[in-house]
Amino acid sequence: ALAVDLARRGYVAAAIEYRLAAEAAFPAAIHDCLAAVRFLRLQASVYSIDPDRIAAVGGSAGGHLVGLMASGGTNPLLAGDGGNPSASSEIQLAVVMAGPLQIASGQVAERSLTAKDSNALVWFRGTAEEKPEVYALADAFEQMTSLTVIPNGKHGCWNRLPWFTTITDRIAEILAQQFGQAGMLEPAGNEE
């Protein structure tokens, strides 16, 4: 729904499909996300994308991946070796909605030690004590430049009314502030 709304506002938007924890251990999901960035960058002329203005938006687990995309796009361990390795994996803007960014410390690491139903145990295939290097690699906490609090917002509210419109409006504002107004580039082959 977010991608559709942003496309209606004039942004090129793509919903990335990535492998979930039950299917593949970390860092498979971030490999998939960064491979998608490389694909889109190489197909920029086909899809009228400005390859120098690529943003990622995600919530919850997707927010964590977006944080990793922003902080680790140049890290070969996160970029992986699949899909268009010659292109850059870097994004220029990340919008993280309720995504855990401090993985190596804090609640995620603590919960991995005590909760048998911890998502981290499934994704990382071990606790923070057993696999500290994996948890450290997954730590997307780098730099937050702004924070928007949505009144009465709940985890996952970005896909529900009445919050959806408020959130997509704010995302569009952030994109416009960083990149300028949305608009189409000339498709390949239409140059004058």
Query: CA 145, CA 75: separation in Å to the nearest integer?
Result: 21
pLDDT in tens, the chain (192 residues): 899 999 999 999 999 999 999 999 999 999 999 999 999 999 999 999 999 999 999 999 999 999 999 988 889 999 988 888 899 999 999 999 988 878 877 777 787 777 777 888 888 898 889 999 998 898 876 666 777 878 888 888 898 988 999 999 999 999 999 998 876 555 555 554
Q: Residue 148: which of 123, 127, 169, 176 has the closest Cα? A: 169
> Residue for token digits 């608009």?
183
Tell me which residue of 71, 64, 145 sits closest to 106, measured CA to CA: 64
pLDDT attached to residue 110: 82
Which H or E run includes 47? helix 44-47
Q: How many whole angstroms separate alpha carbon 107 and alpha carbon 113?
A: 10
Q: Where are the domains of the chain?
A: 2-101+143-179, 102-139
Count the helix, strand and coil residues of the chain and give each as a percent rounded to the nearest 5. Answer: 45, 5, 50
Distances (CA, A) of 19 to 61, 65, 74, 111: 12, 12, 20, 23
Per-residue pLDDT reduced to its tens digit, 95-150 = 999 888 788 777 777 877 777 778 888 888 988 899 999 988 988 766 667 778 78
Output the pLDDT for position 185.
59
| Contact present, 26 and 138 (Cβ < 8 Å) | yes
Please give the single-letter amino acid code of residue 116.
K
What's the pTM value of the predicted model, to 2 decimals? 0.85
